[in-house]
A and B are shown apart, each in its own frame.
Chain A
Amino acid sequence: MRLLKLVPDNTNFPFLRWRNTAVWLSVLLILASIALVAIRGLNFGVDFAGGLMMEVRFEQPVELDELRQTVNSADAGEGSLQAFGDPRTVSVRLPLPEGDDAAVQKVVAQVQDTIRKGHPDAEFRRVETVSGKVSGELVRDGAIAMVLAMVGISIYIWFRFEWQFGVGALFALVHDVALTLGFFALTQLEFDLNIVAAVLTIIGYSLNDTIVIYDRIRENLRKYRKMEIADILNLSINETLSRTIVTSVSMMIALGTLVVLGGSVLFGFSVAMLLGIVIGTYSSIFVAAPLLMWMGVGPHSFIPNDQGPEARLKAKADAQRGQV
């Protein structure tokens, strides 16, 4: 049986030659993402914005505009409506009314009655109310979790490799997180707790990818002491390319089924993850690896420590002479 080979043997793509283009592209994308988040903002779900959310399922597809007018006629504040993956499922978000729980219940009943009047087929599948206090805490905890995960992982890599690798990985992570947030600002997909979980997973996955390449770079640095650093990086990326592609494809297969079949609640999560795989793979190759070169990683970075600092310095000097 002939086996499937997505990547031919012994590729030699000059990835590092595109590093300047790639870095400019990345910087541009990061800036665009920051601008998008700043200007358009993220479409926070009730988890983070506080408020009231109802998931409504209809027998027939509904017109969002018509439904929006219906909801707004219920005199319960400005409703924000969004289709949930399919045209029959709609999420309705409303600001939380002033006052106690009774006021909230009144608003829920009011809106439900109004919708039922126009659409007797409406089925209220989910109701969530989150007070401003809780949503504030969730934002804070989510942000802390993201930052801690990034810092924790970078420190681990610093211990296992060298500081340049830790910094490189951290930059790649910032890149991935920024672009994912930018995507959510662009599409205005709802950003809720599930998406934070997705972003944390993207962090983990992107790192996974980066580490595989870094690990090979370290191995090659020890093996080919005289080789130019750019060539070593290129060689390492090419050697692991087949693995990168096969893993990405199988992840995309798994996540693709989740996007299509996972249901309304997981939709945003799966889309975020799918996007994260693409961004993460790109950043491992085009951001994490070239950064090592600019931070001066060379064969001297991996002299066994038992030879002492002098051997390290000597190796470094040798390497610099070699480059001249």
Chain B
Amino acid sequence: MLDFPPWKIWAIALTVLAGIVFSAPNFLSEQQAASLPGWVPSKQLNLGLDLRGGSHILLEADAADVRKARIETLEEIVRTELRQADGGPIPFLDLSTRGGEISFTLRNPGDIDRAVETMRGVSRPVGQLSAQRDLDVSVMDGNRVVVRPTEAGIAAEVDAAMGQAVEVIRRRIDEMGTREPTIVRQGATRIVVQVPGLQNPDALKALLGKTAKLEFRLVDTEADPQQAAAGRAPPGSQILPNADGGVLVVKRRALITGDQLIDSQPTFQDGMAVVSFRFDSVGGKRFARATQENVGKPFAIVLDGQVISAPRINEPILGGSGIISGNFTTASANELAILLRSGKLPVAMKVIEERTVGPDLGADSIRAGAIASVLATVLVAIFMVMTYGRFGLYSVVALVLNAVLIFGFMSMIGATLTLPGIAGFVLTIGAAVDANVLINERIREELRKGRPIIPAVETGYTEASRTIFDANVTNVIAAAIMFWLGSGPIKGFAIVLMIGIVTSVFTAVTVTRLLVSLWLRRQRPQTLVL
């Protein structure tokens, strides 16, 4: 009991010192921490959004949307490949894109091998190691070819789309001038966006929820307005909602899409807010050709399936840049410009969860949490000293060190402190006390049985340690499961609890034992008040 070898004392002292050094930056202002010399730890605790205010938005991609888009592009590829097949075009009829697959019937059943071969040539391997391909080609009834995207292919597609989506979202948020957003993928089809300190999340959500697919399409001027009003469009055309509240019949095929835009800015024309855009050189040439061929015809500017405006092409637009007018306010023109600049999302995304905490509430929560933590510590400390005297004082030292170590460790690994985390912190204060209570009560018992002081203290520590170990393992199990399965607030709570359990056992058992043994060695007390 009394023989603490010097190396042990040093190890304990060093651990405590490290805790102090790592937790110290939290008590400095941000500027002070930044101005520390490089070798001094200067990392501060990350505060969760609930403590500093901000928005947490969970977006989910529609995998069905990816599948649909894949079929659409595939249709185009299939047509081209059949036309350009080795050994002459393969004539086909009855091409269908229903049921998540593409199928067509060969005019000459004799072409079947060539057709299958051509289609197989279209498919790509999925990943680098697996033998799986992204398309499944099969033959029905002898001369109908079915091309079906495989699950693995779609999954790879979704994965790629999500990677791009993260980039697009990052560009959009950066365009807003927001500082330090967190944008991470979660699972296969989700993206978490966290933006601290945002007062009004609506503008952000307006930016995130839009796909921003821009298309220039010809207006179908030959469509019968009565038919259109009844919801029937001629083949090759479709009815789209117009910004003015009505509908417009436009061609299905886009003259050109927004994919080749390189810039877009909000600006003014005749005192009206408008959005300017500029194509890259390839896009500019295509835009020039398209406008040249269709002078005099009206064309629709379509964003995400809605017509913004449908001006007439008065003359060919050769410079590769133009202006979109519509019923814009300055704000909505700016929003559209940001959307066009940062590119379209490769897949439609929906907001499925949103949590916004105002900065005032965050500040209140920190204050309330800090006051509660300090007061809880002080009250528990008073109670401990009243109950266990000198040994209670040692427990209080352990308690304070425990707090220091928790802060130090969390700062070191860059963990995030949330409001439930503060609750977890208060709770570990209670748990740390429990270890000391167990030890002290045990020593009391041993003393009552008439044991001399040193053996009583020794038995107290060894017997209680076993209980403390068992009791804390169960808490670690609960905390680990919370961390593993929990989301958001529960995770923040669990991480503090796990760290706190480890540090509380160290401070409550090891550190107090050192303090007690140093005291016993120096004073050799004849009586022990406990």
Contact = CB atoms under 8 A, between A and B. Distances in A.
A6 B387 contact: yes
Interface in A187-217: 193-194, 196-197, 200-201, 203-205, 207-208, 211-212, 215-216
Contact of B490 (A125, A127, A193, A246): A193
B158 to A, nearest CB: 17
Contacts of B129: none
A246 B380 contact: no
Contact count band on A: 35 or more
A324 interface: no
Contacts of B441: 240, 242-243, 246
B470 A211 contact: yes
A257 interface: yes
B169 interface: no
A57 B361 CA distance: 9
Interface stretch (B65-73, B89-97, B404-412, B471-479): B471-479
Contacts of A5: 387
B358 interface: yes
A133 B486 contact: no
Given A156-B473, A253-B379, A261-B372, A4 B423 contact: no
A65 interface: no
Interface in B387-426: 387-389, 419-420, 422-423, 426
Contacts of B487: 138, 141, 193
B427 A273 contact: yes
A249 B485 contact: no
Interface stretch (B175-183, B281-289, B346-354): B346-354
A126 interface: yes
A141 B437 contact: no
B368 interface: yes
Interface string A227-269: 0000000000001101100110111011101101111011001
Interface string B353-375: 11111101100110011011001
A134 B350 CA distance: 12
Interface string A19-57: 000000000000000000000000000000000000101
Interface in A245-304: 246-247, 249-251, 253-255, 257-258, 260-263, 265-266, 269-270, 273
Contact of A254 (B368, B380, B475, B486): B380
Contacts of A130: 352-354
Given A3-B388, A130-B353, A262-B368, A203 B478 contact: yes
Interface residues of B, number: 77
A131 B353 contact: yes
Contacts of B352: 130-131, 133-134
Given A204-B478, A269-B420, A126 B357 contact: yes
B376 interface: yes
Given A261-B368, A265-B419, A250 B482 contact: no
B350 A100 contact: yes
Q: Residue among B58, B431, B434, B472 with the most chain A CB within 10 A?
A: B434
B98 interface: no
B384 interface: yes
Interface stretch (A66-74, A142-150, A176-184, A309-317): A142-150
B372 A105 contact: no
A63 interface: no
Contacts of B50: 265
B47 interface: no
Given A152-B481, A156-B477, A200-B478, A262 B423 contact: yes
Nearest to A126: B357
B361 A208 contact: no
B478 A4 contact: no
A13 to B, nearest CB: 16
Nearest to B489: A193
B427 A201 contact: yes
A208 B434 contact: yes
B383 interface: yes
Contacts of A90: none
A160 to B, nearest CB: 6
Contacts of A152: 477-478, 481
Interface in A48-101: 55, 57, 100-101
Contact of B372 (A215, A250, A258): A258
A189 to B, nearest CB: 16
A247 B426 contact: no
Nearest to B490: A197
Contacts of B388: 3
B184 interface: no
A127 B426 contact: no
B466 A215 contact: yes
B336 interface: no
Contacts of B185: none
A1 B438 contact: no
Contacts of A216: 467
Contact of B383 (A10, A149, A194, A250): A250
B448 interface: yes
A171 interface: no
B430 to A, nearest CB: 4
A208 B474 contact: yes
A250 B466 contact: no
A246 to B, nearest CB: 5
Interface centre among A200, A219, A240, A265 (most CB of B within 10 A): A265
Contacts of A123: 358, 360
B445 A239 contact: yes
A263 B365 contact: yes
Given A1-B389, A250-B383, A250-B430, A145 B419 contact: no
B430 A101 contact: no
Of all A-B residue pairs in the complex, the 7 with the closest CB atoms, nearest first, are A263-B368, A125-B361, A204-B478, A251-B430, A254-B376, A145-B485, A131-B352
13 contacts: A125-B357, A125-B361, A130-B352, A131-B351, A141-B485, A160-B470, A215-B470, A253-B379, A254-B427, A254-B429, A255-B427, A257-B372, A261-B371
Given A133-B352, A156-B474, A265-B50, 18 more contacts: A6-B387, A125-B357, A127-B356, A128-B355, A131-B351, A152-B477, A152-B481, A157-B474, A197-B486, A197-B494, A211-B467, A242-B441, A250-B430, A253-B379, A261-B368, A261-B371, A261-B372, A263-B365
Interface of B: 50, 58, 60, 201-202, 205-206, 209, 350-358, 360-361, 364-365, 368-369, 371-372, 375-376, 379-380, 383-384, 386-389, 419-420, 422-423, 426-427, 429-431, 433-434, 437-438, 441, 444-445, 448, 463, 466-467, 470-475, 477-479, 481-482, 485-490, 493-494, 497, 529-530
Interface of A: 1, 3-6, 9-10, 55, 57, 100-102, 104-105, 108-109, 123-131, 133-134, 138, 141, 144-145, 148-149, 152-153, 156-157, 160, 193-194, 196-197, 200-201, 203-205, 207-208, 211-212, 215-216, 219, 239-240, 242-243, 246-247, 249-251, 253-255, 257-258, 260-263, 265-266, 269-270, 273
